[in-house]
Amino acid sequence: MKVIKVKNYEELSRTAATIIAGVILSKPDCILGLATGSSPVGTYDQLAAMYEEGILDFSHVKSVNLDEYEGLARDHDQSFGYFMDQLFFSKVNLKEENIFLVDGAADAAKQEKRFNDFLKDNKIDIQILGIGNNGHIGFNEPDSYFTASAHKVELAEETIKANARFFEKESDVPRSAITMGMYGIATAAKVILVATGAAKAPAIKKLLESDHVDPQLPCSILHICEDATVIVDKDLYELTK
Ligand code: F6R
């Protein structure tokens, strides 16, 4: 697992976007694994800018998102599908038929199957990850075991509290989600995790301290990924020492 220390959020976003751009340029029909939340927003801005400048072409790229809240349809303004539409898909030339999103409003068991069928047929070339304060990746919450397949998950109290900032009130945050499991993440050819902010320091500290693969620290699966890179800003890195 490589660690890249950067000055600030802007450099973090540029670094992540550069790595993703390298994959798209060398494989124009690559499969991008995407995340939502605050952490990758700058990365998506950078990728959209590279598209605007004519450096990147997404017309053959496929994408798959890590997760979706149960109960929220793509047109709900707090759904991850909506987030992706607003902040990325509307700014690049990814084709609608090449975008895989879980439909949070549809039957969860059917969506899990659809997600697992997709992952069986489509190996991710590069997966971008944020990290929860508790070390979750996707919505794989700390537990006594890892779940390999895409699955429905009850969100941890800590995650509900952390994500309440996106909703009017905490009680509006959905209690469950469908997430990619560890199979999709661990079999990606490349994984990059972007982390910024003091709240992530305890989880990043544990991740950097040992190579134990511990389901209580879901991000520790990165230790067995073929090509994993963690990008952290200087302030956060200082807090892990
Ligand atoms: C989002 C996701 C989550 C977030 C994590 C960090 O698709 O899968 O794991 O990456 O909760 O969120 P932010 O970046 O908002 O701190």
pLDDT digits (tens, 9 = 90+) for 184-221: 999 999 999 999 999 999 999 999 999 999 999 999 99
pLDDT of amino acid 65: 98
Three-state DSSP at 226 gives: coil
Interval between CA 26 and ligand 1 midpoint (Å):
27
Q: pLDDT band for position 140 (50/70/90)? A: very high
3-state secondary structure of 140: strand
Average pLDDT over residues 99-125: 98
The CA 163 to ligand 1 mean position distance, Å, reads 9
Q: Give the number of the atom of ligand 1 that is nearest the alpha carbon of residue 159.
A: 11
| C-alpha to C-alpha distances, 156 to 104, 149, 192, 195, nearest whole angstrom | 18, 19, 23, 19
Amino acid 110: pLDDT:
98
pTM of the model: 0.97
Q: How far lies 88's CA from each of 31, 42, 63, 135, 224, in Å?
A: 15, 10, 11, 25, 29
| Pocket of ligand 1 contains residue 67 by CB under 6 Å | yes
Looking at ligand 1, which residue's alpha carbon is closest to its atom 11?
Answer: 132
Which residue's CA lies nearest to atom 3 of ligand 1?
Answer: 138
Residue 184 in contact with residue 142, Cβ under 8 Å? no
Q: What is the mean pLDDT of residues 114-120?
A: 98
Region for 71 from its dihedrals, namely left if φ exceeds 0, alpha if ψ lies in -120 to 50, beta otherwise: left
